[in-house]
Amino acid sequence: MMRRFLLVPAVFAWLAVPAIASDVGAIRDRLEQWVHDFNAGNGDAVCDLFSNEALAEFRGQPQRTYEEICALLHDSLSDPARDFHYELDLHEIIVEGDLAVVRLTWTLFITPLNVTSVEPGMDIFRREADGKWRIIRYLAFEAP
């Protein structure tokens, strides 16, 4: 009888591994799709990565809400004088239930200014009611 009680947690842990791997893949896919959408100038799609409750913290700038994040993204993508291009370097995705923490580095290239901004950060995702993973907190800073 005792062996059965010891086996039950092990079985549940084993069954959770594919679910976690699936969630990690879903988050990775969302981030990679975001890069594609941003670089293609698709403003509506880039806002979908963020929860309506999202808050962004970027060192040296005021905290931004979802509305402010999306307005900034739309302004950047519609700027005729500049071209913005992001690259993504994923370091780690940790999933625990309906929350996930992602360590990453964004590299932003701005032309014709020839500006490159390397932005290490941490995004906190939540699986929302529609099943999509979205960023609820965005913490970043520009690397020296």
User: pLDDT per residue over 56-72, tens digit each?
Assistant: 999 888 999 999 999 99
Q: 67 vs 30, 36, 56, 110, CA distance in Å?
A: 20, 21, 11, 23
Domain ranges of the chain: 2-140
For residue 22, the 8-state DSSP code is: H
Q: How far apart are CA 35 and CA 124, in angstroms?
A: 17
With beta carbons less than 8 A apart as the criterion, state whether 54 and 71 touch. no
Structure tokens given for 136: 């609820």
- How much of the chain, in percent, has pLDDT values that exceed 90? 78
Q: State the pTM of this model.
A: 0.83
pLDDT number for residue 21? 84
Instruction: Tell me phi and psi for residue 25, to 5 degrees.
Output: -65, -40
6 pLDDT more than 70: no
What CATH class does 2-140 carry? alpha beta
Helix (H) or strand (E) holding 110: strand 99-111
